Structure 1
């Protein structure tokens, strides 16, 4: 006589262990492929020259296209989409059509009309002065009596390109500053240096202050 227990055992679903293992392998393989594809799609949007951009050209974001590329750590060397200044950029070296726009090939300032002049500092530089800071160059001519005439601004808003700290036994112990100066001001600044005029660098006021 067939009991209710026997009928229940025959009707129960029996899962083959091999089927369970197969399902697990398929799921794992699918997840692995998805992870690989996701990893390959880690491109970053960078700017690309729509046409050839000659050195000295002032460009706006409309002059560029964007393209998603995989650059890894090298992405920091290119202009990333969204990082374009509203005032535009100046091309420092020619960028060919279709070329990614390198950071080193553009600048916020047109440096074609600038020259570098090294100016010794008469004393410690202000704490808020560093590379990239804009300063006014004040000069005062020495008088015959050993004093100085009232100081005047010789160069306004000169950008500091570098700071040179004197080192070694033969150094004078002072600090020199590399300034980016408009070419039309170079002769006057060199003349002030040659004459021994007192020269001081004062942080320039931001526009609008």
Structure 2
């Protein structure tokens, strides 16, 4: 009886030792670990995406933009990384948009303006003589004024605001449109508002001219 009962136990111990010392198991574990590590390394090196900010909704020039107005997008920018605002680079006080940004559009660094540096405000003016086709929302324009002069009608025009930003065209708004031309809302430096209002009050002839033209393709 004792011999029969001892044989199964010895066989069990032998199998346990064989299982514990089986080199094939160790090699298999090493291969699995190496495979997983290799896949992780490949994914890490191939994923060169950058987290940048995008507009949660449409933004217009002059809007004060905070982090709550933006969302994070992970995109591949390659050499263009410096042209957009990366996650963590947003000023704590936000920024002033200097150009239109559509909903979902990545926020370019060129659209950032500081609250102290820009000090912009919007003014609606009614230029005479119509507007060029390139004068659209977001365009940079110069405002020219020609004051009424004795005997000669109007004096030579001069630039009173340089580099104003077009916020919108209000061609059909009868409250702000004039009989001579369509009204246009401009984003102008506060330091030039008084000069613009003076020209408007004096009845000067105002013209809005594109500050720059797109390059020909």
TM-score by length of 1: 0.50
Name the counterpart of 1:60.
Answer: none
Contact between 2:144 and 2:159, CA under 8 Å: does it hold in 1? yes
CA deviation vs aligned residue, 1:172-203 (integer Å, no higher than 9, x gap)? 55411111101111100111011111110110
Q: Are residues 172 and 158 of structure 1, via their aligned partners in 2, closer, same or farther at CA, if it must alter by over 3 Å?
A: closer
For residue 52 of structure 2, what is the aligned residue in structure 1? Answer: 47
Which residue in 1 is equivalent to 2:32?
none
User: Which residue does 2:140 correspond to in 1?
Assistant: 134
Contact (CA 8 Å) 1:90, 1:110: kept in 2 or not? no
CA contact (8 A) 1:91 1:105 kept: no
Whose helix proportion is higher, 1 or 2? 2
Partners of 2:188 and 2:157 lie apart in 1 by 19
Counterpart in 1 of 2:71? 78
1:116 matched to which residue of 2?
A: 122
Partner of 2:211: 204
Q: Verify: 1:149 aligned to 2:149, yes or no.
A: no
Name the structure 1 match of 2:35: none
Counterpart CA distance in 1 for 2:106 and 2:93 is 9
d(CA) in 1 for partners of 2:92, 2:108: 5
Task: Count matched residues.
Answer: 134
Query: In the superposition, relative to structure 1, how do residues 192 and 169 fare at CA in structure 2: closer, same or farther (>3 Å)?
Result: closer
CA deviations on 1:7-64 (whole Å, 9 max, x unpaired) are xxxxxxxxxxxxxxxxxxxxxxxxxxxxxxxxxxxxx96437xxxxxxx99xxxxxxx
Matched residues in 2 for 1:192 and 1:170: separation? 16
Q: Does the C-alpha gap of structure 1 residues 92 and 106 become closer, same or farther in structure 2, counting only changes over 3 Å?
A: farther
Q: Any conservation in 2 of the 1:92–1:105 contact (CA below 8 Å)?
A: no
Residue 109 and residue 200 in structure 1: after superposition, are their counterparts in 2 closer, same or farther (change >3 A)? farther
| Unmatched tracts of structure 2, length 5 or more | 1-48, 54-63, 96-103
Partner of 1:188: 195
Tell me, yes or no, if the aligned pair for 2:176 and 2:183 is still in contact at 8 Å: no
Distance 1:94 1:170 in 2: 32
TM-score (normalised: structure 2)? 0.48
Structure 1: gaps (5+ residues): 1-43, 49-55, 58-76, 96-101
d(CA) in 2 for partners of 1:160, 1:170: 15
